[in-house]
Structure 1
């Protein structure tokens, strides 16, 4: 019995020793989004200030904790950015951060299915996204070991109390409800 407990303890110690927390490289990561405008076109934008970490068990990602600064929003039009940061949309003064914390990471096809809790504008809801990449390491010219990935998902903005809209004369609404999101990111191995 003692040998069995000792063996189990060694396995647990070995597996926890292999877990490593890699930091998101904020200079090479961003959250991109698009939403339908006037029922005829897509408007695109990005959040450029993304931080956090990805935990790896060996070579496999096992946990994500990602934070996005709302005031890093950029659609290329200052007036639109100001409106999006207002209480009509993100209410950046009251809710300056968007956060995702994973609850499960499951291999799926060539990547992973990641489930977790997304908190936006003070509302937390479960989401699942597809993740590609993170399968190989590259050493940059300065000796940093990196991995890169792309996450994709679609959310309904109304689920997060982002409800502002305006009717169009011919019917329909100014802004769509579905937001397509692509997160491009790089992570750095701990030194």
Structure 2
């Protein structure tokens, strides 16, 4: 009886300590924003994406992991107006030349490492786009229930080579740069 009671107390203490320190904070997807910028020799385009789900894992006050799923079907262009090329560009970005959204409706980031820095965190993780997964690292600033980052993604690592000067010669002013930027604001 004493042994069973002691085991029960230790089990409850362990579960309580784990629950106290490891906390999963869900991201409020409707209040969070992802803005993208893609550049080419003659200019740039901007747009938005939406998170379908996400969370950060905290051990006390320190981030230890996380996971985010982006709804690629939400991809929109914001620098063009309807009737002025917006629909054409959105269609092209949805096509297999770019994100192949018909077959790849989501993109995913899994945070595998987090290191506290003076300005927030240095995160490392695995980013999956178009079914291809590659490591990525970036800085994350955290302020209360908000977090933000800007990260650069090399699209060619995800088999998005259309218009890339790294793969095609003589593109001239039709060259699209390999990296695009994601500016992310999260609310927890």
TM-score of the aligned structures, taking structure 1 as reference length:
0.79
Matched, 1:132 2:135: no
1:62 to 61, 64, 72: 64
1:32 aligns with 2:32: no
RMSD across aligned C-alpha pairs, in angstroms?
A: 2.4
Given that residues 100 and 117 in structure 1 are in contact (C-alpha distance below 8 angstroms), is that contact kept between their aligned partners in structure 2?
Answer: yes
Runs of 4+ in 1 over 3 A off after TM superposition: 9-13, 166-170
Q: Distance in 2 between matches of 1:120 and 1:170?
A: 25
Say which is worse superposed, 89-98 or 11-20, in terms of deviation. 11-20
> SS in structure 2 opposite 1:14?
helix
Retained in 2: the 8 A contact 1:30–1:50? Answer: no
In the other structure, the counterpart of 1:152 is 150
Ranges in structure 1 where 5+ consecutive residues have no aligned partner:
1-5, 137-146
Contact preservation (8 Å) 1:33, 1:45: yes
- Unaligned 5+ runs, structure 2: 1-8, 79-85
Q: Whose Rg is larger? A: 2
1:5-24 matches, within 5 Å, as: 14-24=17-27
Picking from 120, 132, 136, the partner of 2:129 is 120
Residue of structure 1 equivalent to 2:43: 41
Query: Partner of 1:78 in structure 2?
Result: 87
Q: Is the 8 Å Cα contact of residues 35 and 42 (structure 1) preserved in structure 2?
A: yes
Q: Which residue is 1:144 aligned to?
A: none
Q: How many residues align?
A: 169
Aligned residue number for residue 175 of structure 2: 174
Post-superposition offset of 1:148: 0.6
